[in-house]
């Protein structure tokens, strides 16, 4: 919609508040609101001011003023506010230079799309993320000088099978056996359906929802694939819908990659493909997995840069509680058709050209989708441009390989610290086309090292008391 059409739409829908949303560097939505009367056509050019020094990863206090520039194409009616509210996703500008803000994650995604076109390789990159999450009943956590703990609870959790619940009706999901049972074992069918319907109200197409492997309400809702920027926008909306729908039903949701010990973590397997002139460049009938040579090079780029990609695609210390052997964790830098123990899988559900894609499995939903999807595209394109051949595919359970075979398979980093070191050493492919800037990379590395790695490193872990209290 054009600005004037959007203003007319807001009035017809009795909107009272207009909400401007943007994403900080780690990947959380922030917002500023104005009354509808303040929404004029000029605002779409002039923007709305806010304090950038109070946002993680953004400005210093002496350069704090920034502008939000709303994108009318992203407008939606918020289904959760009591007062009728129209929301829009924004880009960021510097109010002095009027240039786009280089640390704005959404701007990085826009530049990635522009770079793709400039290469001539393809005219569209499609992404289909599968963001998993846990639905919980109670969450408590705290840490101080002399204590530190977390406590999660779910009526569906198998640990509560012996608890007095007046009455306890059983049907608790066994550990690692939660994949697609029907109700009453799956107690969240209606809640996930409501999440899906709320997404539909916001214009997000969801293709499927189901219970995931983990106990305690692990879930997955898959949104329809789309172009990079649109998909990143929709992932931000997706998280907003899932969290607020759960809250309205007295539940809470976490996208932490590994909130529960000894059960499956939550990943964000990301399907991707390149198209040109309406033709899927990843498809070639009769080859291994029916993938083209171009797709093979794209896979080669993802595998070649996978260790540095993890700093953006699995960007939390908690991510590496999930990325360990077992628990279906995709830690092996190899590709395969159908094999879910490989870091890249070629789905074989369909042999049609339009659906051929590859699935990169290590990312998780703690990532900033604008940065993660852009980084994956840049790695894949680097593989195509430099004809990077991936290691031969392996169609075996990679956890059962003989030692000699296993020694030939490289793995992803085992910690966030290791992933950040890999990004520092290998990020030239991200700088092409000025998609990521040196400043963005350095800001990311500094923030993650100082605010996350060091903060976790200097605190005692609860299990250390079991290991070492009696030394």
Supply the residues annotated as catalytic.
51, 130, 132, 212, 220, 269, 340, 359, 361
Compute the half-sphere exposure of residue 246: CA atoms within 13 Å on the CB side of its CA: 22
| 238 backbone φψ class: left, alpha, beta (φ>0; ψ -120 to 50) | alpha
Residue 238, judged by CB atoms within 10 A of its CB (0-12, 13-18, 19+), counts as: buried
Q: Tokens in use for 323?
A: 């990325």
3-state secondary structure the chain: CCHHHHHHHHHHCCCCEEEEEEECCCCCEEEEEEEHHHCCCCHHHHCEEEEHHHCCCCCCHHHCEEEEEECHHHCEECCCCCCCEEEEEEEEECCCCCCECCCCHHHHHHHHHHHHHHHCCCCEEEEEEEEEEEEECEEEEEECCCCEEEEEECCCEHHHCCCCCCCCCCCCECCCCCCCCCCCCCCCHHHHHHHHHHHHHCCCCEEEEEECCCCCCEEEEEECCEEHHHHHHHHHHHHHHHHHHHHHCCCEEECCCCCCCCCCCCCEEEEEEEEECCEECCECCCCHHHECHHHHHHHHHHHHCHHHHHHHHCCCCCHHHHCCCCCCCCCEEEEEECCCCEEEEECCCCCCHHHCCEEECCCCCCCCHHHHHHHHHHHHHHHHHCCCCCCCCCCCCHHHCCHHHHCCCCECCCCHHHHHHHHHHCCHHHHHHHCCCHHHHHHHHHHHHHHHHHHHHCCCCHHHHHHHCCC
Distance of alpha carbon 20 from alpha carbon 93, whole angstroms = 14
Vertex 156 angle, CA 154 and 157, to 5°: 65
Q: Tokens in use for 309?
A: 């990609």
Query: Residues 166-184, buried b or exposed e (16+ Cβ, 10 A)?
Result: eeeeeebbebbebeeeeee
């Amino acid at each position: 919609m054009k600005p004037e059409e959007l203003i007319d739409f807001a009035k017809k829908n009795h909107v009272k508040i207009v909400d401007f949303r943007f994403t900080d560097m780690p990947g959380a939505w922030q917002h500023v609101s104005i009354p509808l009367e303040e929404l004029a056509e000029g605002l779409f050019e002039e923007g709305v001011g806010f304090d950038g020094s109070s946002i993680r990863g953004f400005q210093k206090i002496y350069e704090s003023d920034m502008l939000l520039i709303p994108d009318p194409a992203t407008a939606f009616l918020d289904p959760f506010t009591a007062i009728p509210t129209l929301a829009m996703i924004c880009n960021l500008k510097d109010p002095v230079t009027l240039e786009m803000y280089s640390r704005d994650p959404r701007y990085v995604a826009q530049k990635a799309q522009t770079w793709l076109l400039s290469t001539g390789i393809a005219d569209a990159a499609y992404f289909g993320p599968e963001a998993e999450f846990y639905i919980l009943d109670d969450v408590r956590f705290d840490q101080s000088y002399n204590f530190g703990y977390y406590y999660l609870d779910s009526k569906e959790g198998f640990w509560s099978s012996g608890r007095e619940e007046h009455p306890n009706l059983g049907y608790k999901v066994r550990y690692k056996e939660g994949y697609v049972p029907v109700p009453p074992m799956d107690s969240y069918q209606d809640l996930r359906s409501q999440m899906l319907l709320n997404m539909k109200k916001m214009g997000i197409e969801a293709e499927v929802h189901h219970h995931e492997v983990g106990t305690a309400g692990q879930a997955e809702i898959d949104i329809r694939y789309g172009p990079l920027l649109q998909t990143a926008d929709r992932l931000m909306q997706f998280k907003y819908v899932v969290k607020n729908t759960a809250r309205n039903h007295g539940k809470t949701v976490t996208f932490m990659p590994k909130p529960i010990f000894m059960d499956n973590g939550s990943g964000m397997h990301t399907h991707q493909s390149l198209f040109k002139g309406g033709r899927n460049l990843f498809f070639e009938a009769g080859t291994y997995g029916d993938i083209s040579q171009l797709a093979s090079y794209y896979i080669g780029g993802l595998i070649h840069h996978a260790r540095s990609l993890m700093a953006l695609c699995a960007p939390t210390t908690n991510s590496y509680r999930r990325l360990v052997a077992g628990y279906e964790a995709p830690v092996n830098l190899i590709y395969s058709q159908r094999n879910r123990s490989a870091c890249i899988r070629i789905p074989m559900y369909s042999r049609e050209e339009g659906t051929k894609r590859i699935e990169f499995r290590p990312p998780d939903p703690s990532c900033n989708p604008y940065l993660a999807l852009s980084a994956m595209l840049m790695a894949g394109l680097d593989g195509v441009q430099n004809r990077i051949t991936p290691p031969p595919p392996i169609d075996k359970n990679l956890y059962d390989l003989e030692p000699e075979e296993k020694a030939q398979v490289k793995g992803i980093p085992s910690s966030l610290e290791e992933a950040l070191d890999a990004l520092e050493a290998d990020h030239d492919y991200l700088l092409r086309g000025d998609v990521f800037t040196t400043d963005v990379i350095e800001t990311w590395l500094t923030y993650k090292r100082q605010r996350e790695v060091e903060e976790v490193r200097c605190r005692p872990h609860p299990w250390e008391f079991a290991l070492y209290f009696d030394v």
